[in-house]
Amino acid sequence: MKQIVVISGKGGTGKTVVSGALAALAQDKVMADCDVDAPNLHLLIGAEYLEENLFYGGQKAFIDTEVCVKCGKCLEVCRFGSITAEFRVKQQLCESCGYCLMVCPAGAIGMDKNPAGKWFVSKTAYGTLVHARLEPGEDNSGKLVAIVRKAAKEKAEQEGAKYVIIDGPPGTGCPVMAALSGVDTALVVTEPGLSAIHDMKRVLELTDRFKIGAMAVINKYDISADNSSAIRRFCADKGIDIAGEIPFSAEIYGCVMKGRPAVEARDANGVEQMKKIWNNIKKRLQT
Amino acid sequence: MKIAIASGKGGTGKTTVAVNLAAVIQGSCLIDCDVEEPNAALYLNPKIEEINKVELPVPRLKEDGCSYCGLCARLCAFGAISVLPGSAAGKGTLLVFDHLCKSCGVCMGLCPERALKEELRAIGTVETGNSCYGTFARGQLDIGEVAAPALIRVLKQKAIYAPVTIIDAPPGTSCAMINTINGVDLCVLVTEPTPFGLNDLKLAVEAVRKASIPFCVVINRSMGDDEIIEQYCRAEGAEIAAKIPFNMEMARRSSEGGLLCATGTVFRDYFTHLAEKVQKT
Ligand code: SF4
Ligand code: SF4
């Protein structure tokens, strides 16, 4: 079984649109939406929730004001600014280290169990989807990504699937590293904008570091001819294959608006490119 | 006043709104808190005057003193220390996993032998300077580092604030975004009129409400019919402060690093109006 991750560095370059197209094109696969901060793939391929599981994050401190003697020890040791001058805990800033609890002489501080999100296994018209949703402001996104990936891999093994297709998170941080580790290939979706190019370079440093082969997709390549050539040159220099180039298209936009995978767009060229991307991935995975 | 420009999802035009707002407000300050992907400088071309390394304290053993009791490893909530006790055969071993360490200080503060000291480890940089529109500050996390919230806290301390400070927040509703909007007066949530945009806007609204920060919405890439977002905003009582139409020319200009407001055309008005509106709230 092979695992493919779709990432971009910058958000909004069309990562999920490409993932959705792959979901519709690939046979024998399980999908994993690892953008746990802002999951969107289920909006494109529909999801009938079969399983729902709770995800617990780090516990958060709380102060029992009746017992607190206002000595200020907790304030002194907390390095995250999560204790206010009135001795209340700003739980959104609490990093769960427990230092306050360890130094409180009055025993006024406890730790709350913290349900930080949920993860789901769903049925879609295109096969099984494992996805998740982290509560706003929660930290442990890397951990939740790891859970989603593990569940997706297990499902794939049970179903005898050939591929796991992972819609990755934006950025280059902890959840991206969790989404990247151990995959067989990465597809980096970029667009011809300075920010997107800059971020593509950063995310390629990461795939390099993880020793994962990457291919690029230029989305909306026709928005800026100059920048698209710059991307092609950069990729040629680095020895990164371009798996396909998708045009800017009102038809594709219309598909997204209707919540349908982009391969259903009445845009022959765009759809041709998506098929080409999937074929290039398959070819890459055979060698 | 401090105004954070945020969005539940990347790529909605958050940075475009942030840099253009900063550019139409004379003598403003822009802080780029999107430390994994700081891009505002590509548009504002600031002159960087000071670069500061951001370092986090991680524990290291002093020359001696450690009894290998293992207390630090038990107390560390993040599994960042591992201690193997000594035996007749020799000394024990203490290992620190730097990437797991959150620099909370528990181990160093509570070691009975006072055997641990702090060592600083670089995780990124904070840069400050000036653009022709005002002061500028940005943070950049080193590749492979994860402590975005810690870097953002330093960045927010080091920035030179102006009467109006615009903060480009990290995308999403992560811990880094919450750290960014902590203490701002207003959050501008940028979205686009698609099902993705709506879904992510809902998440962002949940996050700013949880943090008790007033907010308004900007619809970017409006294609005329924005009912999908408008309906939601009506139901939630959220104000739509501006609608910026989609336009190929704008898309191209923005993709090539141009400021939309610098053209002296109709684009500029979108941002001057928005600037007036947000400063009134
Ligand atoms: S550093 Fe201190 S707490 Fe940790 S094992 Fe050594 S003596 Fe014990
Ligand atoms: S500083 Fe905190 S997180 Fe780091 S090793 Fe010590 S106890 Fe663990």
- Residue A160 Cα to ligand 2 middle (Å): 42
Which of these, A278, A287, A286, lies nearest to A22 by C-alpha position?
A278
User: What is the average pLDDT across B203-223?
Assistant: 92
Neighbour count for residue B89 (Cβ, 10 Å): 5
Q: For residues B251 and B177, give the distance between their C-alpha atoms in angstroms, rounded to a whole number.
A: 26
Tokens (6 digits) for B242: 């501006």
Q: Could you read off the pLDDT of B28-56 as tens digits, one per residue?
A: 999 999 998 888 999 999 999 999 999 99
Q: What is the pLDDT of residue A8?
A: 92
Quick check: A44 pLDDT over 70? Answer: yes
pLDDT of residue B252: 80
> Mean pLDDT over all residues of chain B?
91
| Predicted local distance difference test score (pLDDT) of residue B264 | 61
Residues B248-268, mean pLDDT to the nearest whole number: 76
Over residues A267-277, mean pLDDT: 94
pLDDT confidence bin for B262, thresholds 50/70/90 = confident
Higher model confidence: residue B259 or residue B139? Answer: B139
Whether B266 has a pLDDT exceeding 80, the answer reads no
* SS3 call for B143: coil
Rounded to a whole number, what is the distance in Å from the CA of B260 to chain A's nearest CA?
14
Decide if A177 and B144 are in contact by the 8 Å CB cutoff: yes
Mutate to test the pocket of ligand 1, among B68, B101, B119 (most ligand atoms within 8 A of CB): B68
Give A258's pLDDT tier (boundaries 50, 70, 90): confident
How far apart are the CA of B74 and the centre of ligand 1, in A?
10
- Type of residue numbered A258: K
Least confidently predicted of A73-82, B140-149, B196-205, B232-241: B140-149
pLDDT score of B29? 97
pLDDT at B202: 94
* pLDDT for B67 beyond 80: yes
pLDDT(A163) > 70: yes
- In percent, the amount of chain B with pLDDT more than 90 equals 68
Q: Do B56 and B141 contact (CB within 8 A), yes or no?
A: no
Closest Cβ opposite residue A95 in set B75, B102, B254 = B102
Residue A137: pLDDT above 90?
Answer: no
**Sheet architecture: strand order including A127-134:** A48-63, A109-124, A127-134, A29-33, A163-167, A2-7, A185-190, A214-219, A241-246
pLDDT of residue B249: 78
Average pLDDT over residues A156-165: 96
* Cβ–ligand 1 contact at B72 (below 6 Å): yes
CA–CA distance from B220 to each of A184, A192, B55, B76 (Å)?
36, 19, 37, 45
Q: List pLDDT tens digits, range B1-30.
A: 999 999 988 888 899 999 999 999 989 999
Q: pLDDT for B86-145, tens place per residue?
A: 777 778 899 998 888 999 999 999 999 999 999 999 999 999 999 999 999 999 999 888
Query: What is the band of B280 on the pLDDT scale with cuts at 50, 70, 90?
Result: confident
The residue nearest atom 8 of ligand 2, judged by CA position, is: B76
Q: What is the mean pLDDT of residues A261-285?
A: 93
Q: Are strands B215-222 and B116-131 parallel, antiparallel or unpaired?
A: unpaired
User: Is the four-CA dihedral B52, B53, B54, B58 of positive or negative sign?
Assistant: negative
Residue B265 pLDDT level (bands cut at 50, 70, 90): low
The predicted structure's pLDDT at residue B172:
85
Interface A-B, measured as beta-carbon pairs within 8 A, has a size of 166
pLDDT at res. B119: 95
Which atom belonging to ligand 1 lies closest to the Cα atom of B68?
Answer: 5
* Partner-chain contact A209 B143, CB within 8 Å: yes
Ligand 2 atom, smallest distance to B100 CA: 3
pLDDT, tens digit, for every residue of A20-32?
A: 999 999 999 999 9
In this prediction, residue A275 carries a pLDDT of 97
